Homo-oligomer: A and B are copies of this chain.
């Protein structure tokens, strides 16, 4: 459900944060549903529990999830414009990327074709 890119420059704990947010937006994780326990997720991803803990702590600080000591972590309520913020962030990254692509004399059309290809390839992955 949650995938990590170990080669990425983005810290693992931030990747987890992004992942959880997206899963909530996509409706995979519902309101008040329990998140995978820290240790279990650590085992699944073969990552140190502290790293998961850091991600969950930040999610709680943002009001995205809430934690009950000794019980677990759960999807919270304050998710209003989560989706829009995420989208803006990704579109901003896309913008940066396009600057680089332009400099390589790559046409917008070719980029779009590549986008279509990515969508085909990953179809069904996030569902």
Contact = CB atoms under 8 A, between A and B. Distances in A.
Contacts of A25: 103-105
B26 A103 contact: yes
Main secondary structure on A side of the interface with B: helix
Contacts of A43: none
B126 A102 contact: yes
Nearest to A116: B108
Interface of A: 5, 8-10, 18, 22-23, 25-26, 83, 86-87, 90-91, 93-106, 108, 111-112, 114-116, 118-119, 121-123, 125-126
Given A25-B103, A93-B97, A94-B115, 20 more contacts: A5-B96, A8-B96, A18-B100, A22-B103, A22-B104, A25-B105, A26-B105, A91-B114, A94-B118, A97-B97, A98-B119, A98-B122, A99-B122, A99-B125, A102-B125, A102-B126, A108-B119, A111-B112, A112-B112, A112-B116
